Amino acid sequence: MGLEEYKGVYIYAQQVDNKLSDIAFELVGKAKELAADLNTEVTAVLLGSNVKALATELGEYGADKVIVVDNPALETYRTEPYAQALVSVINEYKPEIMLVGATAIGRDLGPTVSARVKTGLTADCTKLEIGDFPINAMPGQEQKHNQLLMTRPAFGGNTIATIACPDNRPQMATVRPGVMQKLPKEAGRAAEVIEFNPTLEENNRYVEIMDIVKAVGNVENIMDAKVLVSGGRGVGSAENFEMLRDLASCFKGGMVSCSRAAVENGWLAQDYQVGQTGKTVRPQIYFAIGISGAIQHVAGMEESDLIIAINKDEDAPIFDVADYGLVGDLKKIVPQLTAALKEANADA
Amino acid sequence: MNIVVCIKQVPDTKGGVKFNPDGTLDRASMLAIMNPDDKAGLEAALRIKDETGAKVTVLTMGLPKADAILREAMAMGADDAVLVTDRVLGGADTWATSTTIAGALRNLDYDLIITGRQAIDGDTAQVGPQIAVHLGLPVISYAEDIKVDGDSVVVKRQYEDRYHVVKAKMPCLITALSELNEPRYMTPGGIFDAFDKEVTVWGRADLKDVDDSDLGLKGSPTKIAKASDKVPKGAGEKVNLDPTESVNYLMEKFKEKHII
């Protein structure tokens, strides 16, 4: 079969407990851009049991079509029935691109499906675009157009690679959660819903789920935080860390962390320390508040996607790694920033 | 019971990363180690061996120098070691790598195959589940606890906000998290013994039921279009304003970046 028979940008719409995961909307958002470049549509693939109602939400966030596989075997995530269902969708509808979230589910489902349909899969992409492969025309090699160019960090984030899958379809990628933007919700926008009922064959690869244990909320690990509001010597006291907690609470997945100075002063436990002798963190946003930015601290946070420093000393080395640096009094800036964010959240 | 643990030799990213003058990674000057998730998988296998007397075989695909991690594994307590090495296998993506390893595994008796969740150089987490596909085995990824129960394994499978306790009939494949355990040290006696033991070396001809078209660079569906080292982070914008203006400035930036 020719590669040109494969059409459309598809995303795997992950749901857990019959609730769509944020990554599903983020993937729809990115898929819309790719589909616009390819002049095609975005199809969300929804697998589960009694999940049809979720198709409405996918439509409101931009999906043009939703393929629903509704089957009691898909009630809780298990590799085998989910892989069978997604492989059946791919074989039946032949997508050109298939995006999956790089979650604990997607990083199991993605490789299982790509190996079964024998195609390429690029892991944990941070950038996706449509372009030519090879990027620059090379003599003696056909340059293919409208390819998915998948960019990802590798080697512990020290290299960046752009990868293509020119000869196999679908072009598959898992995408890091939180990297792509979801579109604004458009109430009433509806997707075409297609019900698809492939036979899911129970075989030796089925596993039995004996127990499901949901994590208790009070076990905090700053390495899991999406946003870290980190305080140092300049915060001044344990009480002043309340300001930082308020700021952290404005962000989903926000937590407080600190520098070694704050631990030595007894303001926070060592579990919250970032740096060479503490933890290495890579949140999407890292606030360095009242932290001078010694190399031992910077070593633990310089890979954060966005670094914001607030410090009264304008020569503090933290400003050398900060994307946005505010010179000023943290005790005045932080409460005002918290108030502004709360207001913005209330409007959203 | 037979357990095969698939391990990989990787450059140690913790000790810092060095670049050649042309900007490519200087792998030669970096320390090569056993991948941490794989080492946890090996330790899990050795604990099952301690309890049940299982036989543990370690298998790696790589350059001849990957022999070092196989010796390390034997010094920790693995019984046998296999090195799959051949020029035609180089440049493989995860499809070609998993095809190769599955081809080697078909020569071995196994009840349980353990791999690491992911290697710290490629970070894909794909090879384990893909080996399971090639061999037609059930897969349980992200294991943080493994117990053998008769002809089954019971595994604590980690997700972001929960875990599942999952039971699978053997043979099956499990991918291990480094959180699983604290790997044991090599013993001095073990190190001596490890260097007296033979490592089985296999090449292309020893892979069972594998097509040439699925191996190495040629057999890899994904192709690298461009690779570069990450640009060192430079200083961004710094402003010195009164508090209200500072906050306004930052809120503007958040809007631009779609953070709010």
CATH number of the CATH domain containing B139: 3.40.50.620
Q: Does residue A176 have a known ligand-binding role?
A: no
Does some domain include residue B253?
A: no
- Residue range B22-47: mean pLDDT, rounded: 85
Q: Who contacts A284 (Cβ-Cβ below 8 Å, separation ≥6)?
A: A178, A226, A227, A304, A305, A306
Q: What's the Cα-to-Cα distance from A1 to each of A5, A123, A168, A204, B69, rounded to whole Å?
A: 7, 26, 11, 31, 43
Distance CA A145, CA A297 (A): 45
Domain assignment present for residue B245? The answer is no
Residue-level pLDDT at A218:
45
Percentages of chain A per state (helix, strand, coil), in multiples of 5: 30, 30, 40
Please state whether beta strands A65-70 and B112-116 pair in parallel, antiparallel, or not at all (unpaired).
unpaired
For chain A, how many residues are written? 348
Q: What is the mean pLDDT of chain B?
A: 92
d(CA B167, CA A210): 7
Is residue B244 included in any domain, yes or no?
Answer: no
Cα distance between the two ends of chain A: 47
Domains along chain A with CATH numbers: 3-195 (3.40.50.620), 227-347 (3.40.50.1220)
Number of domains chain B is built from: 1
Q: What percentage of chain A reaches a pLDDT higher than 90?
A: 78
Q: Which residues of A touch B93 (CB under 8 A)?
A: 120
User: What would the pLDDT profile of A234-265 be if each residue is shown by its tens digit?
Assistant: 999 999 999 999 999 999 889 999 998 998 89
Report which DSSP code applies to B119: -
Burial of A172 (0-12, 13-18, 19+ CB in 10 A): buried
Helix (H, G, I), strand (E, B) or coil at A182: coil
- Residues A71 and A197 sit within 8 Å (Cβ to Cβ): yes
What pLDDT is attached to residue A299? 75
Classify residue B142: in a domain, yes or no.
yes
Using CB atoms, pick whichever of B130, B224, B235 lies closest to residue A115.
Answer: B130
Question: Taking residues A284-313, what's their average pLDDT?
Answer: 91
B118 occurs within a structural domain: yes
Cβ atoms of B90 and B74 within 8 Å: the answer is: no
Tokens standing for residue A215: 């994590």
pLDDT digits (tens, 9 = 90+) for A87-138: 999 999 999 999 999 999 999 999 999 999 999 999 989 899 999 999 999 9
The arithmetic mean of pLDDT across residues A197-214, rounded, is 95
Q: Mean per-residue pLDDT for A310-330? A: 95
CA distances (Å), origin B75, targets A104, B58, B80, B184, B196: 33, 12, 11, 10, 11
Interface confidence (ipTM) of the complex: 0.89
B139: chain A residues, CB-CB within 8 Å: 79, 108, 112, 205
Considering the entire predicted model, what is its pTM?
0.82
Task: Compare all CA atoms of chain A with the CA of B11 and give the residue at the minimum distance.
Answer: A155
A311 annotated to a ligand binding site: yes
User: What domain range is B208 assigned to?
Assistant: 2-218
Residue of A6, A152, A287, A326 to mutate for B, most B C-beta atoms under 10 A: A326
Cβ separation B167–A208 shorter than 8 A: yes
Longest dimension (CA), chain A: 68
B212 found inside a domain = yes
Q: Is the minimum CB–CB distance between A112 and chain B shorter than 8 Å? A: yes
